[in-house]
């Protein structure tokens, strides 16, 4: 860009052009909105009681009356899928929150606690990494017994080392970054640097990561439910529904397909959102 | 009958059996004694006697038997040319060792131990004659001895110690344990010297099959898919919908072999509040609706039962009138029992306590359809103001909950040949645990009249009198609303077309592959 | 103008990306043994032109031309296959980003060998010896070893040599070199230029692209001046430099700081720099604001600790600029960091206005820090990515004494930026604007001393000229003292009152700027001065 | 002019020496991690409510007598002070002894020794297949215009989002039940390996392809690619000789993580396909609270994981000289 006439150029350089959302981003937003509605006001999306049993109506295929068909007890699969949103998302989100919080604590200790703490946290992370995913979760379940709460904690714990490692790296990067250095050179104090520069810059990407993580947490949590170690029937949790429906895979495909689809779509949507957030926040850098 | 064919059997081939039951932790059915053990043990162990389809006892390892007049001494004459697969001879001494093994607390037997509860001692009369001395008469002795949990093992095998004997028990059966790859399969190979089939077997001599690959395939969908794909020849624990689907095909055969003994039922724990009140028990039974559920969940493969006993037990007594669903009556009963108030959730309350029922369900013992049925019961019971707390538990936690008397409802299948199962399940002695911790009287019925009926029925040898006593006993159980019968213990096998002449033994309905052969071999 | 030995003939070349035409109607030619240079500011379309000559203008580009022929072969309608045949064999290209233009995962030998593999039937054995020969010819110190090394294991100069070797592997008649010396130290730059001259003398036509007129003047026979995608002026190098016809060319020439006396504006029509309010040059009476005493700093390394700064001492008086010059890795930045007390020194001390600075505890030093400002080469990374210009400047001015605070508007005005910039994030500013914001931030805290570490190295000559003028003006207006670090002798000479020359962590020579440059005492300084390309040589 | 920043000094010590030093440091770290995993598991397991002796006797249902419990405690060394038990366990670990299963009453090392092969075969086949799929997918989606890019990204996203248990069900429904091409239950035959492998590989391939595509795109824009083109290199040559190498680097370094992911997935997959292996064993042990097996599996998987990360790190180091140089210059 020519800077021979700086004063005029500056005015046009300032405004930031926002990229128009792509088709996939629109889909992702719409789906997340749908999930949000299903979580907060499920009644808006379905008027049928998800737990209303009607044995005579069992195993009906999808129809205008029952969009996703009925299950083995004649319950409406669509309204159960909707009702399951809050459970599944609650588990996914709480697990992510646990993971991120633990990761943040570990990461911050490592990032700010001096060499010895950094070293020990680093080793801790390494050790936790040696219990891959589900394995750590299963160990937690052996200790605390199965159930949705345990499953949530288990998934949260098993994702924590990943977050911790990323946060640590992020903090280290920010701490040695040019702008922190220049704030120091200007004479700003450490607390101000921490609150004005380091934390805001470390947290933004963390939120993005967390968005990406929710989808995977939902998948892992539903895997535990599927194995009978997480949420249990008749609670309308996607993994548990899937697990129950799999028995009838030959007779009633809709019992497996729809909850599975919800898990897949949720993961896809959060991934798309997380990625576009990454792109947008990265664009600033 | 499925698996029957007009053509001549051909020898050879290995049959693959896929079991959905839990993998046994010990292959010796003397230890503990559950159905998964019975399923496989029947392939390599023979019992002293067997049972015909009409319920009469027929010879197996014992050729004949007689009982003394006081009904306290039984003499069994044994086949004289049988050897165990380790080469040691089968004789009266072996029978004695087996009974002692079963009765030794160190064996941790529960099923066999209970079955032989009245056997005081065993005496070797001669090499081929063995005498059982009883403490009290036992009309169920022959039935007890027909079960796989009391099957005869090589004394030399037993002497190896529990650990080794669990790995590969040695019997006289048509197959022997070649290898047990834990968590995967057991390889059974033919016993080339087999000469002791039960009296109702179709042929003599050794089995047609070279061997059996006994796989553990816990996932029911995979199991059925494997059968469809021809990867396995026989599956057990077939799910209701797959049974219905299989019956529509020409390539799969269905072998329906309801288990003997008790029906599948929900027991109401009278040993603690609120079910210590008969009115509450009746209210519960009147409140819940199971018929629609059974129909839809089981795709017509299960028939509603109104009896404590399996439909294959000739002495079974049922009374449908007691089990009609009637919500109004249930409400009236509860009101009169003092459960008058309802809380915000619609559950009944008395003295500030909610009408809550703990219902621990063992995931190992209930198929998904049954668990769904329990959910439906939970839903219908709510209308009357019952809160049913279902909890799905693994087996050991489930035993734990039962042991702590922390349950109000429980469904615990019990398989035993003959009506004497009633004594085990409903005699007040059954509230005391066996050495392994198992206790059978989950409904905790403690009724002296019932105890007396069951005791005398077990001692009387006259069949008609015996039947009358059992009918009376069943009446007491049903009319006391101690149980909610559901259906026979489901025992469905699906067979691929190449499997011929496989059948279930009329004892505890375990499959036997002695006569079986593979076509196109 | 087509001579019989014309290698490259371009007529009416236009390149556009989408709707924007970045190269417009370009016509020129290169003959055998001739070096034609294209100069112009950043973004004027030099690289795009170079790449389109090989059909590599880039994704989404549209290239049209009425004539495009290389060695007599018409390429206006060349297919991808045709292009592939031309590339490497007829035209060699040395890309602009020399440091990253070799695959970091493949040995140099393979990278160079690829050209031979693709265009000649040489056996593997012969190809290898040819590669060795090539590497030797470009002055690679140890060719046998070099062919097994990957680009990451070579220094910038050696990488550039390898890249040139791969471009001339098949002796293509035409070599296009896009900024071949941009990333290099002066001494290495001089070697590379020698190498190109050597190639030229062998009859190869060279199209040399550079933003640096001084470099161009040393080797080019003819110069094309590009601006906004057009050639605004062209002609014989000597004539063009001596008698530029176009205003733009004149500006380019005058922006070159080399040999321009101190305080003479580099932008022709700019106002002359006012006389310094606090006169300092050679004024021994001006107080010393900053003093470094025996600074030493070493870094741990696998074998023995590596001494990056070794006993460095200097003084800086009020209103004075001390230039610190030296080749890459000589320890200039490390000195700057020690002065700023960003890293603890192993030995020695930095004193501010005669009092302790570097030896204070961080808490005690913090109030003093505002007096020592800093401007960095990579100003973008010195801004919080989340902050806009306003926040950056207010954050800094909060540190100035209460009575003496600048408003954001004042600061922007002082560095010649429009108030509209306040709302922008640095990422969306141009390099020159960013550097101005960075200067404004340094000013905001009301410093006495500003440490400038390569403040203009990332900028175009013309913009560099504006920034240097700005720094000069601010110094005069405010009596600032600069510790001015650069590897560019021209810049140092123009900006400094006194100069310190660094080599391997030590200051080898220090003194009055004019004296050091005109009469270097140390052989290293002499070498540096000799290697620096100077416009005047050509004049 | 911008200053050169790559003034690389000659390596102070020979490359071989640095390699060995690196390996020793890594191995030391690996042993530490293994010890820490063992210790952590040992103490975590003590948190399990209930008496381990009771667990040996079949859980709380056993209601075993005091003498039997005491006997078991003595047999399993559960009556010793915790520190002694810990040291004993470590000592036994050093000899490869993982204790005796509570439920199955057989040595855990024998049991797991028989199981680990199946899991490793499955995991490594899946890893290779995932690699292959990811490679093909990313090459295809970066080389075929906008439609291919969009479709490719869609496939990646979707496959990465597929839960194993769902995918397994769908694959069985399609390839076994409907088409009848492949056995639904895993056997020793190669055909039996297909579905479990695909189940594990497809989601992983989604992840890997995402990473590979991004690097591939970055790489294809890199100056050295232009440089290669300027030499007359063909599109295929560009991909084969340059881009793919770069794209596989992050995938290589992800392989350690990927193996952990696959072993996690094996828990589900082995159960559904009835494949003998660590995952299925672990799941059964978890439901039976069979502590020694759980401990054994955890340790074994940690060992495999650690070995894998050392190997992938070494591979990355070999493939990417930049890593080696980065160490030399802190
Ligand atoms: N692939 C591309 N897509 C879109 N625009 C491009 C592309 N490549 C170059 N341009 C634009 O073309 C113009 C000329 O770029 P070019 O790289 O030729 O400049 P240059 O004269 O080489 O500058 P510098 O001295 O900075 O190297 C610039 O405005 C640039 O933004
Ligand atoms: N944090 C550090 N750790 C180890 N070595 C370092 C560190 N910082 C700088 N060095 C080394 O110290 C030497 C001097 O570096 P410095 O950045 O001061 O050089 P410079 O003169 O500024 O070079 P350039 O012109 O390339 O910016 C270099 O060899 C560099 O590799
Ligand atoms: Mg350029
Ligand atoms: Mg520097
Ligand atoms: Ni420059």
Quickly state the pLDDT bin for C4 (edges 50, 70, 90): low
Residue C273 has pLDDT above 70, yes or no: no
Return the pLDDT at C290.
92
Return the pLDDT at C270.
61
- Write the CA distances from A185 to A201, C183, C394, integer angstroms: 19, 28, 15
What does the pLDDT average to over C156-167? 85
Residue C2 has pLDDT above 60, yes or no: no
- Cβ atoms of D100 and D108 within 8 Å: the answer is yes
3 state SS of C207: strand
Residue in chain A lying closest to C255 (CA): A4
Whether B395 and D274 lie within 8 Å, measured CB to CB: no
Whether D231 and C212 lie within 8 Å, measured CB to CB: no
Residue whose CA is at the smallest distance from ligand 2 atom 29: C329
What the block records as the tokens of B60 is 């197996």
Q: What is the tens place of the pLDDT at every residue in C461-498?
A: 888 888 898 898 889 888 899 999 998 888 898 889 99
Give the N- to C-terminal CA distance of chain D in Å, as an integer.
26
* Residues in contact with D145: Cβ distance below 8 Å, sequence separation at least 6, in sequence order: none
D287 chain-B contacts, CB cut-off 8 A: 394
- Whether C contacts B, i.e. 3 or more CB pairs less than 8 A apart, is no
Return the pLDDT at B360.
93
Return the pLDDT at C79.
85
Task: Determine the distance in angstroms separating the CA of D306 from the nearest CA of chain A, rounded to an integer.
Answer: 7
Query: Using CB atoms within 10 A of its CB, is residue B24 exposed (0-12), middle (13-18) or buried (19+)?
Result: buried
Q: Residue C74: phi, psi to the nearest 5?
A: -80, 130
Pocket flag, ligand 1, residue C17 (CB < 6 Å): yes
3 state SS of C503: strand
Q: What is the tens place of the pLDDT at every residue in B355-398?
A: 999 999 987 778 888 888 998 899 889 889 999 998 888 777 78
- Cβ atoms of A38 and A86 within 8 Å: the answer is yes
Return the higher-pLDDT residue of B406 and C533. Answer: B406
Whether A1 and C43 lie within 8 Å, measured CB to CB: yes
Q: Residue C512: phi, psi to the nearest 5?
A: -60, 135
Q: Within a 13 Å sphere around the CA of B94, how many CA atoms are in the beta-carbon half?
A: 30
Give the N- to C-terminal CA distance of chain B in Å, as an integer.
22
Could you give the CA distance from residue B272 to residue B408 in angstroms, rounded to a whole number? 8
What the block records as the tokens of D283 is 């799941």
Task: Determine the distance in angstroms separating the CA of C476 from the nearest CA of chain A, rounded to an integer.
Answer: 22
Residue A54 has pLDDT above 70, yes or no: yes
- The highest-confidence range among B500-514, C90-104, D49-63, by mean pLDDT, is B500-514
Return the pLDDT at B6.
59
Q: What is the tens place of the pLDDT at every residue in C32-52?
A: 889 999 998 888 889 899 989
- Sheet containing strand C449-453, edge to edge, reads C372-375, C449-453, C481-486, C321-326, C498-503, C506-512
Residues 248-287 on D with a CB inside 8 Å of A are 257, 259-261, 263-265, 267-268, 271, 282-283, 286-287
Total residue count of chain D as it appears in this document:
330
Instruction: Flag whether D185 is in a domain.
Output: yes
Pocket flag, ligand 1, residue C229 (CB < 6 Å): no
B182 chain-D contacts, CB cut-off 8 A: 104, 106, 111, 114
Chains adjacent to A (≥3 CB pairs closer than 8 angstroms) = B, C, D
Could you give the CA distance from residue C474 to residue C439 in angstroms, rounded to a whole number? 10
Q: How far is CA B453 from the centre of its chain?
A: 23
Residue B111 has pLDDT above 90, yes or no: no
Return the higher-pLDDT residue of C51 and D146. Answer: C51
Instruction: Flag whether D68 is in a domain.
Output: no
Return the pLDDT at B437.
59
Closest CA to B270 of B85, B428, B413: B428
Residue C276 has pLDDT above 70, yes or no: no
Q: How far is CA C216 from the centre of its chain?
A: 14
User: Is the Cα dihedral A138, A142, A147, A150 positive or negative?
Assistant: negative
- Write the CA distances from C318 to C321, C365, C366, C482, integer angstroms: 9, 20, 21, 9
Return the pLDDT at D330.
33
Q: What is the tens place of the pLDDT at every residue in B136-154?
A: 998 889 999 999 999 999 9
- Write the CA distances from D230 to A129, B150, B346, integer angstroms: 44, 86, 80
Q: What is the DSSP string of D124-178?
A: HHHHHHHHHHHHHHHHHHHHSHHHHHHHHHHHHHHHHH--HHHHHHHHIIIIIII
Could you give the CA distance from residue B237 to residue A203 in angstroms, rounded to a whole number? 53
Q: D40 at the A interface (CB within 8 A)?
A: yes
Quickly state the pLDDT bin for A11 (edges 50, 70, 90): very low
What the block records as the tokens of B170 is 């040695």
Return the pLDDT at C300.
82
B248 chain-A contacts, CB cut-off 8 A: none
Could you give the CA distance from residue A112 to residue A109 in angstroms, rounded to a whole number? 5
Residue in chain D lying closest to A228 (CA): D287
Return the pLDDT at A282.
57
Spell out a b/e string for B448-468, using b for 16 or more CB atoms within 10 Å of the CB, else e: eebbebbbbbbbbeeeeebbe
A251 chain-B contacts, CB cut-off 8 A: 241-242, 244-245, 299
Q: Within a 13 Å sphere around the CA of D261, how many CA atoms are in the beta-carbon half?
A: 25
Q: Which bin fits A194, alpha (ψ -120 to 50), beta or left (φ > 0)? A: alpha
Closest CA to C326 of C529, C54, C78: C529
Residue B478 has pLDDT above 90, yes or no: yes
Residue C414 has pLDDT above 90, yes or no: no
Task: Determine the distance in angstroms separating the CA of A263 from the nearest CA of chain D, rounded to an integer.
Answer: 8
Total residue count of chain A as it appears in this document:
285
What the block records as the tokens of A18 is 């926002």
Q: What is the tens place of the pLDDT at every residue in D97-136?
A: 888 887 777 788 888 888 888 889 999 999 999 999 998 8
| Other Cβ atoms closer than 10 A to C168 | 22
Residue A9 has pLDDT above 70, yes or no: no
Query: Using CB atoms within 10 A of its CB, is residue A11 exposed (0-12), middle (13-18) or buried (19+)?
Result: middle
Return the pLDDT at B1.
44
Identify the DSSP state of C460. Answer: -
**Whether the predicted interface score ipTM is above 0.95:** no
Could you give the CA distance from residue C77 to residue C55 in angstroms, rounded to a whole number? 10
* Domain spans, chain A: 46-284
Return the pLDDT at B517.
92
**Contacts for B100-107: CB closer than 8 Å, 24+ residues apart:** B101/B30, B101/B153, B101/B158, B102/B30, B102/B150, B105/B435, B106/B162, B107/B30, B107/B31, B107/B162
Return the higher-pLDDT residue of C112 and D46. Answer: C112
3 state SS of B220: helix
Could you give the CA distance from residue B201 to residue B58 in angstroms, rounded to a whole number? 11
Return the pLDDT at D1.
40
Q: What is the tens place of the pLDDT at every residue in B149-187?
A: 999 999 999 999 888 899 899 999 999 999 998 778 899
What the block records as the tokens of B25 is 């932790």
What is the CATH number for D188?
1.10.3720.10
Return the pLDDT at B121.
93
The domain of D314 spans 108-328
Q: What is the tens place of the pLDDT at every residue in D289-324?
A: 777 888 888 888 888 888 888 888 888 877 777 766
Biggest alpha carbon–alpha carbon distance for chain D: 87
Could you give the CA distance from residue D166 to residue C462 in angstroms, rounded to a whole number? 63
Return the pLDDT at A68.
84
- Cβ atoms of B29 and B510 within 8 Å: the answer is no
What the block records as the tokens of C151 is 């680009």
A10 chain-C contacts, CB cut-off 8 A: 417-418, 420-421, 424, 429, 433
State percent of chain B over pLDDT 90.
Answer: 52
Task: Determine the distance in angstroms separating the CA of A190 from the nearest CA of chain D, rounded to an integer.
Answer: 25
Give the range among A39-53, A80-94, C173-187 with minimum mean pLDDT. A39-53
State percent of chain B over pLDDT 70.
Answer: 98
* Residues in contact with B274: Cβ distance below 8 Å, sequence separation at least 6, in sequence order: B280, B337, B339, B350, B355, B357, B408
User: Is the Cα dihedral B282, B284, B289, B294 positive or negative?
Assistant: negative
Pocket flag, ligand 2, residue C331 (CB < 6 Å): yes
Residue D205 has pLDDT above 80, yes or no: yes
What does the pLDDT average to over A198-211? 81
C451 forms bridges with which residues in the sheet?
C374, C483
- Cβ atoms of C237 and C249 within 8 Å: the answer is no
- Cβ atoms of A164 and A129 within 8 Å: the answer is no
3 state SS of A144: helix
What does the pLDDT average to over B442-449? 92
Give the N- to C-terminal CA distance of chain C in Å, as an integer.
26
Q: A182 at the C interface (CB within 8 A)?
A: yes
Looking at domain C321-343+367-538, its CATH superfamily turns out to be: P-loop containing nucleotide triphosphate hydrolases (3.40.50.300)
Q: What is the tens place of the pLDDT at every residue in B201-241?
A: 989 999 999 999 999 888 888 888 888 888 899 999 888 88
Pocket flag, ligand 2, residue C486 (CB < 6 Å): no
What does the pLDDT average to over C74-103? 84
Q: D73 at the C interface (CB within 8 A)?
A: no
Task: Determine the distance in angstroms separating the CA of C201 from the nearest CA of chain A, rounded to an integer.
Answer: 36
User: Is the Cα dihedral C486, C491, C497, C503 positive or negative?
Assistant: positive
DSSP H helical segments within chain A, as ranges?
6-13, 23-40, 42-45, 77-112, 114-129, 133-144, 148-175, 178-186, 190-193, 199-226, 238-246, 254-284
Residue in chain D lying closest to A137 (CA): D264
Biggest alpha carbon–alpha carbon distance for chain B: 74
Give the N- to C-terminal CA distance of chain A in Å, as an integer.
20
Return the pLDDT at C239.
87
How many folded domains does chain D comprise? 1
A249 chain-B contacts, CB cut-off 8 A: 221
Residue C499 has pLDDT above 90, yes or no: yes
Q: What is the 3-state secondary structure (H, E, C) of C333-371?
A: HHHHHHHCCCCCCCEEEEEECCEECCCCCHHHHHHHHCC
Tell how strand C481-486 and strand C321-326 pair up: parallel
**Fold assignment, A46-284:** MetI-like fold (1.10.3720)
Whether D60 and B400 lie within 8 Å, measured CB to CB: yes
Mean pLDDT estimate for chain C: 86
What does the pLDDT average to over C445-459? 88
Whether C342 and A181 lie within 8 Å, measured CB to CB: yes
Return the pLDDT at D116.
87
- At which residue do the structure tokens 């439901």 appear? D287
| Other Cβ atoms closer than 10 A to B128 | 17
- At which residue do the structure tokens 């009329």 appear? B506
Quickly state the pLDDT bin for C271 (edges 50, 70, 90): low
| Other Cβ atoms closer than 10 A to C383 | 24
What the block records as the tokens of B384 is 């009357």
Q: Residue C166: phi, psi to the nearest 5?
A: -70, -30
């Amino acid at each position: 860009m020519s800077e021979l006439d700086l004063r005029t150029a500056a005015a046009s350089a300032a405004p930031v052009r926002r990229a128009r959302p792509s088709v996939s981003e629109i889909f992702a937003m719409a789906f997340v909105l749908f999930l949000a509605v299903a979580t907060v006001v499920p009644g808006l999306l379905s008027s049928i009681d998800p737990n209303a049993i009607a044995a005579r109506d069992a195993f009906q295929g999808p129809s205008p009356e029952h969009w996703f068909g009925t299950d083995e007890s004649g319950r409406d699969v669509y309204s159960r899928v909707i009702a399951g949103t809050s459970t599944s998302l609650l588990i996914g989100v709480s697990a992510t929150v646990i993971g991120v919080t633990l990761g943040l604590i570990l990461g911050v200790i490592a990032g700010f606690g001096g060499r010895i703490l950094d070293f020990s946290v680093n080793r801790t992370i390494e050790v936790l990494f040696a219990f891959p995913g589900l394995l750590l979760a299963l160990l937690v379940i052996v200790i605390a017994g199965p159930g949705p709460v345990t499953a949530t904690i288990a998934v949260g714990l098993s994702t924590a080392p990943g977050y911790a490692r990323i946060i640590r790296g992020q903090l280290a990067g920010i701490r040695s970054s040019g702008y922190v250095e220049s704030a120091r050179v200007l004479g700003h104090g450490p607390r101000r640097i921490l609150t004005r520069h380091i934390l805001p810059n470390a947290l933004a990407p963390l939120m993005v990561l967390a968005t990406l993580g929710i989808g995977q947490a939902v998948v892992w949590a539903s895997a535990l439910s599927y194995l009978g170690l997480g949420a249990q029937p008749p609670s309308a949790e996607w993994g548990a529904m899937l697990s129950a429906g799999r028995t009838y895979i030959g007779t009633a495909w809709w019992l497996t397909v729809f909850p599975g689809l919800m898990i897949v779509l949720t993961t896809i949507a959060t991934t798309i959102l997380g990625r576009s957030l990454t792109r947008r926040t990265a664009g600033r850098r | 009958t499925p698996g029957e064919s007009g053509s001549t059997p051909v020898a050879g081939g290995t049959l693959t059996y896929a079991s959905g039951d839990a993998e046994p932790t010990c292959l010796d059915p003397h230890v503990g004694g559950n159905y998964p053990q019975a399923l496989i043990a029947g392939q390599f162990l023979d019992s002293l006697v067997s049972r015909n389809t009409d319920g009469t006892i027929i010879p197996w390892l014992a050729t004949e038997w007689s009982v003394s007049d006081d009904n306290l001494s039984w003499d069994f004459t044994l086949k004289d040319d049988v050897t165990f697969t380790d080469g040691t001879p089968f004789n009266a001494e072996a029978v004695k060792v087996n009974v002692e093994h079963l009765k030794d607390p160190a064996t941790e037997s529960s099923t066999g131990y209970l079955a032989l509860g009245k056997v005081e001692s065993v005496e070797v009369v001669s090499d081929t004659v063995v005498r059982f001395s009883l403490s009290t008469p036992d009309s169920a002795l022959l039935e007890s001895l027909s079960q796989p949990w009391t099957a005869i093992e090589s004394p030399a095998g037993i002497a190896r110690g529990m650990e080794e004997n669990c790995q590969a028990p040695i019997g006289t059966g048509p197959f022997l344990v070649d290898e047990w790859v834990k968590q995967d399969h057991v390889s059974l190979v033919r016993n080339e010297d087999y000469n002791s089939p039960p009296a109702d077997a179709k042929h003599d001599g050794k089995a047609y099959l070279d061997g059996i690959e006994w796989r553990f395939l816990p996932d029911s969908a995979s199991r059925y898919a494997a059968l469809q794909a021809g990867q396995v020849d026989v599956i057990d624990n077939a799910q209701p919908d797959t049974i219905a689907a299989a019956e529509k095909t020409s390539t799969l055969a269905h072998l329906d072999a309801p288990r003997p003994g008790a029906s599948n039922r929900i027991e109401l724990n009278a040993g603690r509040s609120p079910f210590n009140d008969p009115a509450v028990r009746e209210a519960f039974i009147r409140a819940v609706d199971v018929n629609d559920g059974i129909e839809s969940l089981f795709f017509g493969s299960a028939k509603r039962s109104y009896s404590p006993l399996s439909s294959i037990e000739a002495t079974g007594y049922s009374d449908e009138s007691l089990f009609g669903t009637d919500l109004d009556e249930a409400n009236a009963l509860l009101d009169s029992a003092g459960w008058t108030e309802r809380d915000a959730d619609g559950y009944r309350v008395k003295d500030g306590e909610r009408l809550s029922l703990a219902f621990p369900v063992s995931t190992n013992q209930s198929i998904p359809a049954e668990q769904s049925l329990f959910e439906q019961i939970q839903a219908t019971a709510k209308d009357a103001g019952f809160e049913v707390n279902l909890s799905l538990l693994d087996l050991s936690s489930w035993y734990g909950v039962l042991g702590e008397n922390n349950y109000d409802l429980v469904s615990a299948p019990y398989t035993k040949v003959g009506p004497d199962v009633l004594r085990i399940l409903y005699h007040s002695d059954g509230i005391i645990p066996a050495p392994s911790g198992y206790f059978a009287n989950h409904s905790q019925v403690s009724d002296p009249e019932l105890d007396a009926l069951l005791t005398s029925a077990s001692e009387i040898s006259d069949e008609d009198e015996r039947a009358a006593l059992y009918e009376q006993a069943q009446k007491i159980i049903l009319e006391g609303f101690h149980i909610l019968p559901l259906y026979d213990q489901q025992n469905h096998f699906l067979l691929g077309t190449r499997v011929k002449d496989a059948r279930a033994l009329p004892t505890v309905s375990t499959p036997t592959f002695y006569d079986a052969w593979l076509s196109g071999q | 103008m087509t001579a019989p030995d014309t290698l490259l003939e371009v007529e009416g070349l236009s390149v556009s990306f989408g709707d924007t035409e970045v190269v417009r109607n370009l016509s020129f030619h290169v003959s055998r043994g001739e070096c034609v240079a294209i100069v112009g500011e950043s973004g004027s379309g030099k690289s795009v032109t170079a790449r389109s000559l090989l059909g590599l203008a880039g994704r989404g580009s549209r290239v049209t031309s009425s004539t495009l022929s290389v060695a007599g072969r018409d390429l206006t309608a060349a297919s991808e296959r045709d292009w592939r045949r031309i590339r490497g064999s007829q035209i060699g290209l040395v890309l602009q980003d020399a440091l990253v233009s070799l695959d970091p995962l493949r040995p140099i030998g393979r990278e160079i060998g690829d050209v031979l593999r693709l265009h000649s039937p040489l056996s593997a054995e012969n190809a290898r010896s040819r590669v060795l020969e090539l590497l030797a010819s470009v002055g690679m110190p140890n060719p046998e070893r070099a062919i097994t090394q990957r680009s990451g294991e070579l220094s910038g100069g050696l990488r550039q040599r390898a890249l040139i070797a791969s471009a001339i592997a098949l002796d293509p008649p035409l070599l296009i070199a896009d900024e071949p010396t941009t990333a290099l130290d002066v001494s290495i730059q001089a070697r590379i230029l020698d190498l190109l001259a050597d190639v030229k003398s062998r009859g190869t036509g060279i199209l040399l692209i550079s933003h640096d007129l001084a470099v161009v003047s040393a080797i080019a026979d003819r110069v094309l001046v590009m601006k906004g995608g057009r050639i605004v002026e062209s002609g014989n190098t000597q004539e063009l430099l001596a008698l530029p016809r176009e205003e733009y060319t004149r500006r380019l020439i005058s922006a070159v700081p080399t040999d321009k006396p101190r305080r003479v504006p580099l932008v022709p029509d700019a106002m002359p720099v006012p006389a310094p309010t606090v006169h300092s040059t050679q004024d021994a009476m001006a107080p010393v604001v900053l003093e470094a005493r025996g600074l030493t700093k070493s870094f741990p390394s696998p074998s023995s600790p590596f001494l990056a700064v070794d006993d460095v001492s200097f003084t800086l008086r009020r209103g004075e600029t001390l230039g610190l010059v030296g080749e890459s890795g000589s320890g200039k930045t490390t000195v700057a960091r020690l002065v700023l007390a960003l890293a603890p020194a192993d030995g020695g001390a930095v004193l501010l206005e005669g009092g302790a600075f570097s030896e204070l505890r961080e808490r005690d030093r913090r109030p003093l820090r505002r007096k020592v400002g800093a401007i960095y080469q990579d100003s973008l990374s010195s801004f919080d990515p989340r902050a806009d210009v306003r926040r950056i400047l207010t954050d800094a001015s909060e540190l100035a004494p209460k009575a003496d605070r600048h408003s954001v508007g004042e600061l922007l005005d002082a560095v010649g930026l429009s108030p509209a910039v306040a709302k922008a994030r640095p990422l969306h500013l141009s390099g020159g604007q960013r550097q101005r914001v960075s200067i404004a931030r340094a000013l905001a805290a009301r410093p006495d001393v500003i440490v400038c570490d390569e403040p203009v190295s990332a900028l175009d000559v013309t913009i560099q000229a504006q920034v240097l003028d700005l720094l000069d003006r601010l110094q005069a207006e405010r009596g600032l003292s600069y510790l001015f670090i650069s590897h560019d002798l021209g810049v140092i000479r123009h900006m400094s009152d006194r100069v310190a020359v660094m080599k391997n962590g030590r200051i080898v020579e220090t003194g009055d700027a004019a004296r050091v440059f005109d009469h270097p005492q140390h052989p290293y300084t002499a070498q540096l001065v000799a290697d620096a390309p100077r416009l005047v040589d050509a004049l | 002019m911008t200053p050169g920043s790559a003034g690389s000094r000659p390596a102070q010590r020979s490359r071989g020496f640095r390699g060995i030093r690196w390996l020793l440091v890594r191995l030391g770290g690996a042993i530490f991690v293994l010890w820490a995993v063992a210790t952590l598991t040992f103490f975590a397991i003590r948190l399990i409510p209930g008496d381990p002796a009771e667990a040996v006797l079949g859980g709380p249902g056993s209601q075993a007598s005091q003498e039997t419990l005491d006997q078991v405690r003595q047999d399993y060394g559960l009556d010793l002070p915790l520190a002694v038990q810990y040291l004993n366990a470590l000592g036994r670990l050093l000899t490869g002894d993982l204790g005796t299963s509570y439920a199955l009453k057989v040595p855990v090392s024998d049991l797991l020794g028989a199981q680990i092969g199946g899991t490793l075969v499955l995991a490594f086949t899946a890893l290779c297949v995932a690699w292959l799929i990811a490679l093909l997918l990313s090459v295809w989606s970066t080389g075929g215009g906008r439609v291919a890019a969009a479709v490719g990204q869609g496939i990646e996203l979707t496959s990465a989002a597929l839960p194993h248990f769902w995918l397994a069900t769908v694959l069985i429904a399609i390839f076994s039940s409907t088409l009848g091409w492949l056995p639904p239950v895993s056997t020793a035959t190669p055909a039996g390996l297909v579905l479990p492998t695909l189940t594990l590989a497809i989601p992983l391939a989604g992840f890997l392809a995402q990473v590979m595509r991004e690097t591939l795109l970055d790489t294809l824009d890199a100056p050295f690619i232009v440089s290669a083109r300027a030499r007359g290199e063909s599109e295929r040559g560009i991909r084969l000789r340059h881009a793919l190498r770069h794209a596989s680097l992050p995938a290589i370094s992800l392989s350690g993580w990927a193996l952990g992911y696959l072993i996690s997935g094996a828990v589900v997959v082995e159960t559904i396909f009835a494949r003998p292996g660590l995952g299925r064993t672990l799941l059964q042990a978890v439901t039976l609270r069979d502590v020694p097996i759980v401990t054994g599996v955890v340790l074994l998987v940690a060992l495999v994981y650690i070995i894998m990360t050392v190997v992938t790190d070494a591979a990355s180091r070999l493939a990417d000289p930049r890593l080696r140089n980065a160490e030399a210059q802190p």
